[in-house]
Chain A
Amino acid sequence: MKFDDLDPGLLSATIQRALRHGGDFAEVYVEDRRSLSLALDDGKIERTSGGHDYGAAVRLTVGDRTYHAYTDEVTEADLNAAADAVAAAIGAGVAGSAAELGNLRSEPGLHAVGRPPQAVAIDDKAALLREADETARAYDAAVHQVSASYLEGRQRVLIANSLGDLVADDRTRVRLTVSVVARRDGIIQMGHESRGKSRGFEVIEGSVAADLAGAAAAKAVTMLSAKPAPSGPMAVVLANGFGGVLFHEACGHGLEADAVVKGASIYAGKLGKVIAAPIVTAYDDGTIPGEWGSAAFDDEGIPMQKTMVIDEGRLCSYLNDRLRAGKMKSPPTGNGRRQSFRHVPVPRMRTTYIAPGNATPEDVIAATKHGFYAKSLSGGQVEPASGNFVFGVAEGYLIENGRVTTPLRGATLVGSGIDILKDIDMIAGDFRVKPGMCGKDGQSVPVGTGQSTLRIKRMTVGGTG
């Protein structure tokens, strides 16, 4: 049965079948996803791949237990088999109750798609990659390798549950990424830039490919003259945009309620307490129109929202899904997300950011006598239980006497989320969001990380110099 031909009556019957031996909550999640990716490497378009994934999952919760079965054939027989698999896990019992499904809800206008990418000729997509390649190569003779990739996806979901919710969401995302390797005198450096939105092809048209390529090339070439970064504690200025990945990793994951309910987060039990400097206010927001980490609904059919997590230094909310909201007796925040029908929803961030302040980025640099300027980070890892993190710095500089000076390579930032939040002492107003993919529990979902330029007064830099 095709996605468009699905009958709410069948979903309703599946829910009742799943609940027939008992259970508090049952849900059917149907997903139809079409993707296309093109990759250019070494001047050639050589990896062009597209596909279709279509499947359904049945989920049943009983007290603290969750049973989940999925199938990649969506017929009445397969949905029955999935419902039987979760019902069998309970064994015999009194049937759980399900409300009648309400009217279908959807919000097609929230993240409107200008040019559906499926309607754009594949040659036009290839042309963007070629333009990125040419621009990056023309930037400097030291540019040695360029790779660029284009990704489009349309994910349609239909969610029905025993509370009577019937929700459809239609999510289109487009992303363009450029990576440049520069080489001179045996030294190799890389630069990376991307733009991705929950929009159509329009977000990467015009000068976007050339702009990304130029920026990635500039980063790689600049870093060729970098010196090994020093080690030790110092003031660290994080640039706007992808610098927000540090907040995402070091703090955001600890606010996801699955870790909190188990007491496995450093932020457990700290609701209402001061966890950050008073200048810090932070949000996790799934409502920013067209943003990479936004959608109309989460993957449990709850409207995404703008959730304030830190209010002037005080922790004011965790990030919930239905299961954890129930356990914490707090309202869901619309953070129940899943990579696909093959995964169970867990609390996940959307676009997470520290709100802009009043300073200018120039003020922040000028006020720093000696420090490290992390212009872009290459990613990182955190242990949510301890809040300890490590980040690689893709582009870093020394700050001397209030000025950005020597580029520095090979630096990592090491610390713990709870310390750096208290040590943020300046925030500028140059707010930007960058797209990323966040991995957790074997699931990858699109998220945004954002911030303005800000300063952490003391943090450990691990370098090789």
Chain B
Amino acid sequence: MLDKVEALLERALARGADAAEAYAESGESRRIKVYEQAVEQLTAARRKGIGLRVVVDGGVGYAYSSDVGSDALDEVVEQALGNARVADRDEHAVLPEPPAAYPELSVYDERLAAATDEQKIALALAVERAALAADPRVKLVEDTIYADGEVEVFLASSTGVRGTYRENHCYAFAYALAEQDDQVETGLSFTVGRALADLDPQHCGEEAAERACQLLGATKCRSMKATVVLDPFVAASFFGVVVSALSAEAVQKGRSLFADLVGSEVAGPRLSLLDDGLHPDGLASSPFDGEGTPSQRTPVIEAGTLRGFLHNARTAHKGGCASTGNAARGSYQGIPGVGPTNLILSGENQPLADVIGAIEHGVLVTNAVGVHSGANPVTGEFSVGISGLLIESGRLGAPVREVTLAGDIVGMLKGVVALGDDTRWIPMGSFLVPSVVIEGTSIGGS
């Protein structure tokens, strides 16, 4: 594929591009779904494709193809040039300069490449078995999935960027259904890593079962002002919304509630948020981002104060700063935008039991639905449906469901008073998060 990106680049420049960047990826993946202790679905896939970004008279155009034959490359060049000509002049359309060197980073594990389908199937079966055995109220595990992927990335640009790396990862998850007295509740759990040995199928299955069973018997609670504990799953989805407003792209387009808040206090004094593109265990780690800027560690919130935003080359040029290595590219089909890498939430972590023990009235939130539709990263308004367990006088009590948690995002961030000691990876995005305790939230119930 290296020859393909070089050829694409050369032809784009020969046909009149002022600047160009060629990207290619090639990979393989497996997805195995088991149900009732048998394989339900196995997908074996090979995937590759190329993408070309060109700048012509300041306008940017993009084109891609899964076909990498010589004729297809010509077609991609012509389409990208045509697309660039209709685009308006963008004075910030810059491609990154090549760095002196890329960081040494190991994001490929040979052990995963050597694993067999039989081993992967056995792992998925073990997840399901653990969930079913964990509690008699687990009626079934609707989805038990093992999946892995490996991809090799190639990048070449007219500024002299040349980069390639190989990455792999695997994960399993279970979605368990528990039933009691005609009420059904669901529980999800993941296990992630770069080798089968990194995954913990027993814990994954048991946790999915526990998360479903603990909600059985849930009812609405009364409306109240309360302290909530967002467990790491819910904290990851809440911070997913926060982070979407911390992209410089959102800020520069007037679509971020954080636009004018750099240097201000935006969260409780114990809270720090780091975007870490180099974390050895992070599934979003890579030596360089989607356009060849070296990956780095970017403090976004430090001890409650907003330090800055996530940038790619374009937003950095517009903002008069340096790219933070956050050019995100979903695949060869996508123009690089701005996106987070691994997000790490830290502060003064305290034993979770102590944190809960100190709460007079509250809710341990284990599930939130509608976070992406019910949270508004522009206005900061936030209203989602939650379920979880009541906390009364420092003890976990009855399960609740069909209630709402509402507020505004900065208000909630400022209300963060403690973090638990249960920090873990959550692969919805790539988050390393503990439970997060927030005071003064509104619970809407009956």
Residue B40 at the chain A interface, CB threshold 8 Å = yes
Check A390/B88 contact, CB under 8 A, given A47-B335, A70-B45, A72-B49: no
Check A44/B90 contact, CB under 8 A, given A181-B254, A412-B385: yes
Check A383/B186 contact, CB under 8 A, given A70-B46, A72-B46, A188-B378: yes
Q: Do B43 and A51 touch (CB < 8 A)?
A: no
Contact among B83, B373, B374 for A122, CB-based, below 8 A: B83
Residue B4 at the chain A interface, CB threshold 8 Å = no
Residue B402 at the chain A interface, CB threshold 8 Å = yes
Q: Closest approach, in angstroms, between the C-beta of B441 and any C-beta of chain A?
A: 11
Q: Do A232 and B223 touch (CB < 8 A)?
A: yes
Q: Which residues of B contact A414 (CB under 8 A)?
A: 385, 402-404
Q: Which residues of A contact B335 (CB under 8 A)?
A: 47, 49
User: Interface residues of B toward A: which range?
Assistant: 35 or more
Q: Do A52 and B67 touch (CB < 8 A)?
A: yes
Q: Do A462 and B90 touch (CB < 8 A)?
A: no
Encode contact with B along A413-449: 1 for CB under 8 Å, 0 otherwise.
0111000000000000000000000000000000000
Give the residue name and chain of the B residue nearest to A61 (CB). Answer: B41
Q: Closest approach, in angstroms, between the C-beta of A127 and any C-beta of chain B?
A: 10
Stretch at the interface among B56-64, B189-197, B278-286: B56-64
Chain B contact residues: helix, strand, loop or mixed:
strand
Q: Do A52 and B64 touch (CB < 8 A)?
A: yes
* Complex interface residues of chain A between 343 and 383 (CB less than 8 A to chain B): 344, 377-383
Contact among A55, A189, A259, A344 for B142, CB-based, below 8 A: A259
Give the residue name and chain of the B residue nearest to A82 (CB). Answer: B44
Residue B84 at the chain A interface, CB threshold 8 Å = yes
Give the residue name and chain of the A residue nearest to B407 (CB). Answer: A464
Check A378/B373 contact, CB under 8 A, given A44-B90, A342-B47: yes
* Complex interface residues of chain B between 31 and 84 (CB less than 8 A to chain A): 35, 38-49, 51, 60-67, 72, 75-76, 79, 82-84
Q: Do A145 and B62 touch (CB < 8 A)?
A: no
Give the residue name and chain of the A residue nearest to B62 (CB). Answer: A49
Check A380/B42 contact, CB under 8 A, given A145-B253, A385-B184: no
Measured in the bound complex, the distance between the Cα atoms of B374 and A298 in whole Å is 33
Stretch at the interface among A261-269, A288-296, A299-307: A261-269
Q: Do A66 and B385 touch (CB < 8 A)?
A: no
Encode contact with B along A379-415: 1 for CB under 8 Å, 0 otherwise.
1111101101111100000000000000001111011
Q: Which residues of A contact B90 (CB under 8 A)?
A: 44, 46
Q: Which residues of A contact B385 (CB under 8 A)?
A: 388-390, 412, 414, 462
Measured in the bound complex, the distance between the Cα atoms of B334 and A50 in whole Å is 9
In addition to A67-B41, A72-B48, 11 A-B residue pairs with Cβ atoms within 8 Å of each other are: A44-B90, A48-B87, A51-B333, A55-B66, A65-B41, A70-B46, A188-B379, A377-B373, A381-B370, A388-B385, A412-B383
What are 23 inter-chain pairs, A to B, with CB distance below 8 A? Answer: A48-B61, A48-B86, A49-B64, A49-B83, A55-B66, A66-B42, A72-B47, A188-B378, A231-B223, A379-B372, A380-B373, A386-B184, A388-B385, A390-B385, A409-B379, A409-B381, A412-B373, A414-B385, A414-B404, A462-B383, A462-B404, A463-B383, A463-B444
